Amino acid sequence: MGDEVKVYVSVDFEGGACIVGQPEMTLTDSKQYEFARSVMTDEANAAARGAFDGGATYLVVDDAHGSGLNLLYDRLDERVEVLAGVPRPRRFPSLDESYSGMLLIGYHAMAGIEGGVLSHTYSSRAVQNLWLNGTRIGEIGMDAALAGTLGVPVLMVSSCEAGTMEAEGFLPGTITYATKRGYSRNCALGKVPSVACRGIEEAARRAVGLRDEIKPYVVDPPYELRREFKFESSADRTRPPWTKVDPRTVCGRSDDLFELM
């Protein structure tokens, strides 16, 4: 099928409309989790509608938050296929070179970013910072780099304003949509979910329509990933091929970026 246009939609939770969580708690443990499940199901559907309108012929929705068991699957667009659950053989196990593009929906800024709502880097409880080949990076950039090893561009990112600014720094040309503006890690002013869904749908439609113009984010191998933990005990569990750099930092090297995630 030479005219097939496959799009991979990775759905996180923290960047969704009106989702702010609670201080000192993960989103999954907060009072907002059930609300977030509904909001992010709607935002995934909005992204899917826009992607199909923009030319997608096949679409995977990856439930990429935490346990991978978050979205309300019986409410998802019937045209999509769903990736759910853990453990997984690697990050984005269904993603390969046949995809025309990727959408990152409901993503968040990296740890330590001013105005980043529910900001963290993969683990809010364990990880402080990541550096890829010397560049400090969060989930937006790292997931784009993983896709880039397969030649797949990130076409669109939705997040809080801090997250969209982060995306624009790593991914020039990628379409972004901000659902809210953070005043602190757990306080934001933003769009109501229905308005955000309309914006996400339009951004996804535009992004997929521009799929031939947006380039993959490519980091040249070999790859060196440094991971700074919040606690020394996490680094104490280091095993090859990772090496300990200091009491809280470990380093891994590989020609395959997926091996380091």
Does a structural domain hold residue 226? no
Confidence of residue 70 (pLDDT cuts 50, 70, 90): very high
68 Rama sector, left if φ>0, alpha if ψ -120 to 50, beta otherwise: left
Neighbours of 26 (CB within 10 A): 16
pLDDT at 24: 86
Report how far apart, in Å, the C-alpha atoms of 110 and of each of 27, 142, 194 are. Answer: 15, 10, 26
Does a structural domain hold residue 225? no
pLDDT at 2: 58
Does a structural domain hold residue 146? yes
Number of domains in the chain: 1
Specify the pTM. Answer: 0.97
Average pLDDT of the chain, as a whole number:
97
Q: Is the pLDDT of residue 180 over 90?
A: yes
The edge-to-edge listing of strands for the beta sheet with 127-132 is 135-137, 127-132, 223-229, 249-254, 243-246
Does a structural domain hold residue 252? no
Can you tell me the mean pLDDT for 130-150?
99
> Which CATH number belongs to the domain containing residue 73 in this structure?
3.40.50.10780
The answer to whether the bond into 193 is cis (omega within 30° of 0) is no
pLDDT tens-place string over residues 211-253: 999 999 999 999 999 999 999 999 999 988 899 999 999 999 9
Can you tell me the mean pLDDT for 57-76?
98
Q: Is the pLDDT of residue 148 over 70?
A: yes
Does a structural domain hold residue 253? no
pLDDT above 90 covers what percent of the chain?
Answer: 95
What residue numbers bound the domain in which 187 lies?
A: 6-120+139-217
pLDDT tens-place string over residues 98-134: 999 999 999 999 999 999 999 999 998 899 999 999 9
Q: Is the pLDDT of residue 76 over 70?
A: yes
158 vs 146: CA distance, rounded Å: 18
37 vs 71: CA distance, rounded Å: 5
pLDDT above 70 covers what percent of the chain?
Answer: 99
Across 4-8, 125-129, 144-148, 201-205, least confident range:
125-129
pLDDT tens-place string over residues 14-62: 999 999 999 988 898 999 999 999 999 999 999 999 999 999 999 999 9
Does a structural domain hold residue 239? no
pLDDT at 1: 44
